[in-house]
Amino acid sequence: MAIEFVKGDITKQDTEAIANAANSRLAGGGGVDGAIHHAGGAEIMRELKEKYRGCSTGSAVITGGGKLKAKYVIHAVGPVYSGRASDAQLLTSAYRKSLELCTENNICSVAFPSISTGAYGYPVREAALIAVKTVGDYVKTHPEIKLVRFVLFDDETFQAYKEVYSRGVMVS
Mean pLDDT by 10 residues, the chain (172 residues): 94 97 93 95 97 97 98 98 97 98 98 96 97 96 97 96 84 41
* Residue 155 appears among annotated catalytic residues: no
- Give me the pLDDT at residue 170, please: 52
Catalytic residue, candidates 9, 14, 33, 154: 33
- pLDDT of the residue at 172: 40
| Predicted pLDDT at 94 | 98
The widest CA-to-CA distance across the chain, in whole angstroms, is 43
Number of domains in the chain: 1
Evaluate whether residue 133 is within a structural domain: yes
**Is 40 inside a domain boundary?**
yes
Q: Indicate whether 37 belongs to any domain.
A: yes
Give the SS3 label for residue 137.
helix
Give the dihedral sign, CA 156/157/159/163.
positive
> Is 105 contained in some domain?
yes
Query: What is the pLDDT at residue 28?
Result: 87
Q: Which domain, by its residues, includes 78?
A: 2-166
The pLDDT, as a whole number, for residue 17 is 98
Q: Could you tell me the CA-to-CA distances from 106 to 42, 74, 99, 145 in Å, in that order?
A: 25, 13, 11, 9
Whether 171 is in a domain gets the answer: no
- Report the CATH number at residue 23: 3.40.220.10
Q: What is the pTM of this model?
A: 0.95
